[in-house]
Amino acid sequence: MWQSLEVESVDVTFGHRLWWVDAFIGEGERGNPAVVVLLEHSLPDDELQQISFELGVSETAFVRRVGDQWSLRWFTPTVEVDLCGHATLATVHVLLNELGAPGNQFFFATRAGILSGCRLPDGLVGIDLPRAYLEPIDPAVLNGSLGEVSEAYQAGPANVLAIVKDYETLCGLTIDPLSLFLVPSSIVIVACAGGPDVDVTIRVFAPRLGLAEDPVTGSALCAVAPWWVEKEGSPTVNVRQASARGGLMYARLFERNVEVAGMARTFFSGEIHP
């Protein structure tokens, strides 16, 4: 019919496919949304940033097949980041359950080096992230923004891990993003031992990355797992993130990496046309 209307052609070019995935879900935990965008070809950085801004979730993962592995980059609505756990878990979930990519293990070239992800038993997805090495620091560096802190550690070049005394203290924290912005760290992880049915409970704040409080942060376990081993001697730890959405994560510490595991679900899928 379009020929009779003198339409010369029909544009059948498809956009880049995307999936909205809730990562680190559990019973009563809604997890952290990440959008995984499958790129058919590379795009300029400013276009990737604009797409992330439009999507508006805490992290957008851009994945593209390159030879025998995948290229993976992560963007908040305002900046590109060096590492993101929940968006990596979401990407592995998409490769396994939406794209049916061959094999059960995948390797990603990222700003944090070569990372891997795989299918685990009982519906879990696992990702290997680089472990953080903890250096004790003076809690005064936090400028009182977290109240009374019993221990504080530098966890890699851009993260701080702060320990508070108990679960009630952690959940009761009221954070002023501006005060926390003055702390010389991109990500501030606040943790305590214990919590409902878990070893450790955490909250994570990243005002310098445009995130007042992150719903669920897989990369936080790169610091929490070494701390737990030092405290309890156990290489495994299960962690709940006490955000409004909530999340459940599992970790096992190895010499150079932390295996972080969790469950994910696809909320919706579609295409974008940048």
Is residue 221 a contact partner of residue 129, using CB atoms and an 8 Å limit?
yes
Kindly give, in sequence order, each residue whose CB lies less than 8 Å from that of residue 44, ignoring residues fewer than 6 positions away. Answer: none
Of 61, 56, 98, give the one whose Cα is nearest residue 77. 56
Helices (H) and strands (E) in the chain — how many of each? 5, 17
**Eight-state DSSP code of residue 131:** P
Of 261, 266, 265, give the one whose Cα is nearest residue 127. 261
CA distances from 88 to 15, 53, 82, 177 (A): 22, 19, 12, 26
Query: Cα separation of 50 and 76, whole Å?
Result: 10
Specify the residue for token string 């990372």.
Answer: 115
Query: Cα separation of 255 and 121, whole Å?
Result: 23
Give catalytic residue positions. 59
In angstroms, how far is CA 51 from the centroid of its own chain? Answer: 18
Bridge partners for 204 per DSSP: 189, 214
Enumerate the H helices of the chain as residue ranges.
Answer: 45-55, 85-97, 167-171, 177-181, 221-232
Is residue 89 a contact partner of residue 80, using CB atoms and an 8 Å limit?
no
